[in-house]
Structure 1
Amino acid sequence: MGQAETRTGKRAALWAAVALIAIAAAGMTGYKIVAERTMSGMIAERGGKVGNVEADFLGRIHLRDVKLPLKDGSEVHIAAIDGRPEIFFLKGMLEVAGLQLKTKLGSVEVPQATVQEANLSYGTTTEIFGGRGDLPLSKRIELFAARRVVAPEILVTQTVGGSEQKLVYRNVVSEGIADGRVSRFSAEGASFEFGVDGNGGEAGGKKRLTGSLGPMTVQDMDAAYLARLYTEKAGPQDKEAKPVYGPSSVKDIVFSDGEARFGYAEIRSSGISMAMTDQPLLETLNALSAVSAPDELPPAERQAYFTRILSIIDMTKKADIEMLGLNMEVPAKDGDKGKKIKFATDRLAIQLDGQTLDATLNGLSMAEGESHFKISEAALSGFSWSPTFKALEQMVALDEQQLESFPFTTLLPEFGTVRLAGIDADLPGSVENGETSPSTAERVRFSLKEYEAALTKPRNGIPTDIRVSYQDLTVPVPANIEEKTLAELRKLGIDELVLSSSLEAAWDEAQQTLVIKEISTSLKDLAGFSFSGVMGGVSGDFFSGDEAKMRVALFGLTAREAELEIEDKGLAAKGLKAYAEQNGMTEDQARGMLTMTSSVVLQQFADEEPRLQDVVDAVSKFIAKPGTFTLTVKSKSPSGLGALELAVASQNPLLLLDRVDIEAVAE
């Protein structure tokens, strides 16, 4: 009896299992029918075609020969799609073969790609590829999630100027795809080839430029926001720029056209932030490409054309890029096939913040044979095209008659500060009619410790604060120099000149003055000269950009005060020594004779004009014992000396003695 009950129990379990399988089979049959019809329907609704749709009993979907048209006339063709949607605990997966995207600009081909652990549930798939027809592309991108998308190869092809351009990426991987973002994009490398003309521009392929890229990575890419930039216009919530890309890097970049070769060790960035515009970027680009002759457009359309250009320029709000280890070799132009011009930089860094740009270049060198030019550092800070941008927005709205009175100086940017350091040059002398001039047979050699130019605080595009200086410009004085002045320097025992100079001036709007803080020149171990002063009557008309107003404003200038300083740093001693040697005298004899002669001449002048006695005494003291001589001249009138008075006094400066206070000091 026990055995009979056991057999009965086994039969019941067997029938239960068969029933469960039957129910599951019926369910999978239903799934198969629904899945095939749904996929075919979604493709047809979008105007596409599919050669075959099949769903098997294991939940997998197979599509063959899929064609989907896009709005702009582009088309996607996929040879095969094999996928599995999310079922119970199993994540979705997708295998794509023979994907090709054809657009007006070119094509993108992906021979094979794998999507791993994707959220390809029935509902999500329907929402992404079907669902509401008004669902924006950015929202569809946000719906898709996957752990990883892998493509062993991606081929990008374009035809520009009749020449085919190819770019091939290898082992492309996108990871952490969720909420419209890609946490990391990478590629093992890439190669490219396209046609260029003899000058390096795009053309019909007279030359082929080939190259390769090493490992590349991009982190935190916001694909959904990118889609919004291209396909949507800014809304009320889009007032601030948002990050589009995070840290990125491309290494081992090499280019060559068969003769010239250049490349970078690495190009990297910490990220790029962009802002939405009033029109989708695709619409803007299409509108711009439809215009072949913008100058021939009616005023309103021309304004719209340039406004679109400005909107694209202003999209990028924050960005930086570093280019490391540039090396370039190009053939020399003198016909010597074996001769190369070599150009290299250690680092170029550019940082954009709104409409302000900072840049730094380190370790620049250029060499050809024995000639070279080097700069250890070049920097630009505070450069801003904000004034230019505002002026352009105003200018494009004007007709031809209004443009005649437009202040074009307002188009100038704020130049900021330029700094150069560590310049060293060894170059050929000047060439006349293909031959080196005998007077310039020596090579041109010089070095510069530092140069700085700051042109800031613009008013109508014209800088109102200026600072230009250089330190230690060193120029050798050749032994066989024929130029008279330099030959005299050699006689003084000077084999090199080391010069420094500075110019600094600022406009004081409240006081209507131009303050000349310093105009100076210094020769190391020789002498120094400096001048400072204050000019009055400097109104805003000087910076109006209106030529007529600027000319009139010149007559309102006044001279208020000026100071001249002369410093001897060894020139007097060298000159005295040379004079003594030429005349067979000792240095003490030469000094005594020159002091006596100058004192007699100066005293005669003082006797004729007693008001200059203090000045004469200071000059005599400086000649007797060279050090520092300072002459200060101030107008007795608070308004200063007018242009007419100065013009008259230019013929006889003594006429101004009653109008100024003069002080002279020798130390």
Structure 2
Amino acid sequence: MRLLHRSGICALALIAGSAALQFEPAVMRDLAFESGSQRIAVGAVRVPLWSAAWAQATDTVSLENVSFAIGAATYEAKRIDLSGVTSSRTDVEALFSSTSTEPVSSRLSRIGAKQITLPELRMKQKLGAESQVATYKNVVLKDVVGGRIATATADTTGVESTSAKTKLVISYGRLSISDLDMPAYAKLFETRAEAASGPLNKIHGAFAAENIDLIDGEGTNVRVARISGRDFMARPTKDSWADNIALITQLGDKDDLPSEDQVRLIRTVADLLSAFDFGQAEATGIVVKGGSKAKDADLTARFNRVAYTSATSSQPADARLEGSEFADKDGSVKIETISLTGFSFAAMFETLKKFDVKALKDPDATTIRAMIPTWGTMHISGVDIDVPAEKGKKSERVKLGFKDFELTADKPFNGVPTNIKLGLQNLTMALPSSSKEEGISDLIALGYKNLDLSFLLSALWNGATEELSIREYSLRGQDMGSVSLTGVFGGMTKDIFDSDIAIASVALIGAKAKSLDITIENKGLFERYLAKAAKEQKTKPDALRATYGTAAALALPSIIGSSDQAKVVTRAIARFVAKPGRLTIHATSKDPSGLGLADIIAMPEPADAFEQVNVIAKAE
């Protein structure tokens, strides 16, 4: 009986102990800490009963009614469960201490846990007239060491953003982020940098969001299959991020700001925009559909990929848009790729950080040039346009496209790019037969039904040799021909880039041509023109060609003179006109420094310039 009695007592104690382990008494209540724009508040801290009863350390902690404000954003969670806690009770208490002057970033750096779970996290943010509420479901933070989170995930997210004029509703699928440095993130909002510059520090590593769906007030729908990237980098600003956001919120929505406030706003925005970057980011599978209330309700836009890669020591910055298509019931526009490589806004931001009232009201040329960003190289490739010639009419259509468009403007000197390239490759267009437009109607009259044109201008200034090289200036047309020019100009000192127009103009006048090459090649245009002209004049093309050749031989000497060099040019041009094939002219200055405009003006006759050059001309 005694054994049975003891067994009953043990069983009862086991049941009672098991129940006690499920009960969590509050060991701390109503904790709060506030510093500037940062605030942390916790309704209660709970631990298992056995830990509270015996005052033992525990690796399991639950927080209730938690709110955390940083900058303009406030985060709220009804419950946060921490397991595998490695922080001491002192460290946890210090996080919420209202008497400590220690920064939040330092307090966070002592927090560690195997896993932190938030069944629901709500974020509220207000920027000017716009307010945003985001709700994250089933947030899990794993392997938290020193406030740094190895992985953070959320199963679903809903966002509602409202302003005076519009409302956005956004939903996300799974969110994930790795290597999130919370102390470094908090430091951005509480630290004021000594200067508005400095290196960027890594805040987190890879991130991803899936199945994004956005609907605005007009019913426009945007869907994105996936957003991902890596390495969010940031630095503290001269005024903290919290101060900057507060100022932008305060001044951004006001009209007629005083000049001093406009300057403050410009400096603040420039400092903040230059204070962060992503190593790489991209969005894929983007579809945009016009809403029923929108002007372009039947328009659908698709983008396969939008991507950005920041500059490193071994590669330039790159941004691109791939696989674009815009379509409605009448037509479509397709673009394979739009890319911008080698761009930089660093110089512009640095100038804007030092902006003053004088620069705002009356900026001088030096300030304006300093604000010019480095463009780099833009490519637009694979363009195909098929739309009605007139809105709502399908009978006559515009069909055109091009293989590639390039615009390069980099290697700036005094804000002016010294490396220029502008090119358009294979611009194709079906000529509308009923067009009355001058130029198009002339081409139709010559028998052309389609155009295929290419254009290129490429130039480079070399500061060491003070030369400007026209590497190529050309125009080509299929079944037409081509014209190309190259040349080298000396005496191009750095003064041609001076912000003072008078100084730059004088420097340009001092430039001298060292060499010039011209190539003209006929591929059918001349024959078409002769056929049309001969028909109008009621003669034969061969007879008209002979007439033109004779006229060239007689007329050119009166224009360019009759020197030996001029005769070489005259004979080659007359032969080319008589039998158009390929004409090449190569001219170099006899003076190694080149032949300048001032030299030509000083000559009794402009034709005397041919005495100062060596010319090779050939017609084939």
TM-score of Structure 1 vs Structure 2, range by shorter chain = 0.7 to 0.9
**Cα pair distance change 1:189/1:581, threshold 3 Å:** same
Answer yes or no: is the 8 Å Cα contact 1:154–1:169 preserved in 2: yes
What displacement does 1:605 show? 4.5
Residues 81-230 of structure 1: matches in 2 within 5 Å? 81-84=45-48, 91-101=58-68, 105=72, 107-119=74-86, 121-129=88-96, 133-159=100-126, 165-195=132-162, 202-203=163-164, 206-230=165-189
- Is 1:243 equivalent to 2:215 in the alignment? no
What displacement does 1:382 show? 0.6
Spell out, residue by residue over 1:83-142, the C-alpha distance to the aligned partner (whole angstroms, 9 max, x if none).
145989985212333334578946433233322221354454455455993443223212
- Match for residue 506 of structure 1? 460
What displacement does 1:652 show? 6.5
Name the amino acid aligned to 2:301. Answer: F
Measured in 1, the distance between the counterparts of 2:250 and 2:532 equals 76
**Cα pair distance change 1:322/1:72, threshold 3 Å:** same
Spell out, residue by residue over 1:531-567, the C-alpha distance to the aligned partner (whole angstroms, 9 max, x if none).
2223333222221222232233343233333222100
Residues 562-577 of structure 1: matches in 2 within 5 Å? 562-576=516-530
Name the amino acid aligned to 2:551. Answer: V
Q: What's the TM-score, normalizing by structure 1?
A: 0.78
Measured in 2, the distance between the counterparts of 1:161 and 1:280 equals 18
- Is 1:494 equivalent to 2:448 in the alignment? yes
- Match for residue 665 of structure 1? 618
Structure 1, 56-65 or 625-634: larger mean CA deviation: 56-65
Partner-residue secondary structure (3-state), 1:378: strand
- Is 1:378 equivalent to 2:376 in the alignment? no
Partner-residue secondary structure (3-state), 2:374: coil
Name the amino acid aligned to 2:405. Answer: Y
Residues 631-646 of structure 1: matches in 2 within 5 Å? 631-646=585-600
What displacement does 1:381 show? 0.6
**Cα pair distance change 1:370/1:190, threshold 3 Å:** same
What displacement does 1:429 show? 3.1
Measured in 1, the distance between the counterparts of 2:576 and 2:428 equals 28
Spell out, residue by residue over 1:340-366, the C-alpha distance to the aligned partner (whole angstroms, 9 max, x if none).
111121111112237974201101111
Q: Higher Cα Rg: structure 1 or 2?
A: 1
**Cα pair distance change 1:610/1:604, threshold 3 Å:** farther
Measured in 2, the distance between the counterparts of 1:661 and 1:189 equals 76
- Match for residue 490 of structure 2? 536
- Match for residue 70 of structure 1? 34
RMSD: 4.1
* Match among 447, 450, 460 for residue 404 of structure 2: 450
Measured in 2, the distance between the counterparts of 1:210 and 1:285 equals 23
**Cα pair distance change 1:156/1:333, threshold 3 Å:** closer
Partner-residue secondary structure (3-state), 2:434: coil
- Is 1:419 equivalent to 2:379 in the alignment? yes
What displacement does 1:491 show? 4.2
- Match for residue 280 of structure 2? 320
Aligned residues: 595
Measured in 2, the distance between the counterparts of 1:332 and 1:623 equals 62
What displacement does 1:641 show? 3.4
Answer yes or no: is the 8 Å Cα contact 1:186–1:215 preserved in 2: yes
Name the amino acid aligned to 1:654. Answer: A
Answer yes or no: is the 8 Å Cα contact 1:453–1:468 preserved in 2: yes
Measured in 1, the distance between the counterparts of 2:247 and 2:538 equals 86
- Is 1:519 equivalent to 2:519 in the alignment? no
Answer yes or no: is the 8 Å Cα contact 2:411–2:418 preserved in 1: yes
Name the amino acid aligned to 1:498. Answer: D
- Match for residue 351 of structure 2? 391
Answer yes or no: is the 8 Å Cα contact 1:518–1:530 preserved in 2: yes
Answer yes or no: is the 8 Å Cα contact 1:602–1:620 preserved in 2: yes
Answer yes or no: is the 8 Å Cα contact 1:255–1:261 preserved in 2: yes
Answer yes or no: is the 8 Å Cα contact 2:71–2:241 preserved in 1: no
Gaps of 5+ in 2: 14-19
Measured in 1, the distance between the counterparts of 2:371 and 2:303 equals 32
Residues 298-377 of structure 1: matches in 2 within 5 Å? 308-331=268-291, 339-353=297-311, 357-377=317-337
- Is 1:481 equivalent to 2:435 in the alignment? yes
- Match for residue 509 of structure 2? 555
- Is 1:260 equivalent to 2:213 in the alignment? no
Partner-residue secondary structure (3-state), 2:120: strand
- Match for residue 597 of structure 1? 547
Measured in 2, the distance between the counterparts of 1:579 and 1:552 equals 46
Measured in 2, the distance between the counterparts of 1:539 and 1:130 equals 66
What displacement does 1:253 show? 0.9
Answer yes or no: is the 8 Å Cα contact 1:316–1:354 preserved in 2: no
- Match for residue 49 of structure 1? none
Partner-residue secondary structure (3-state), 1:626: coil
Spell out, residue by residue over 1:6-41, the C-alpha distance to the aligned partner (whole angstroms, 9 max, x if none).
x9xx9xxx9xx99xx9xxxxxxxxxxxxxxxxxxxx
What displacement does 1:194 show? 2.7
Name the amino acid aligned to 1:656. Answer: A
Spell out, residue by residue over 1:211-247, the C-alpha distance to the aligned partner (whole angstroms, 9 max, x if none).
21111100111112212222245699x9753321111
Q: Relative CO higher for 1 or 2, CA cutoff 8 Å, sep ≥ 6?
A: 2
Measured in 2, the distance between the counterparts of 1:457 and 1:104 equals 39
Partner-residue secondary structure (3-state), 1:118: coil
**Cα pair distance change 1:325/1:647, threshold 3 Å:** farther
Structure 1, 398-407 or 310-319: larger mean CA deviation: 398-407
Structure 1, 318-327 or 400-409: larger mean CA deviation: 400-409
What displacement does 1:315 show? 2.2
- Match for residue 37 of structure 1? none
Q: What's the TM-score, normalizing by structure 2?
A: 0.83
Name the amino acid aligned to 1:329. Answer: K
What displacement does 1:456 show? 1.1
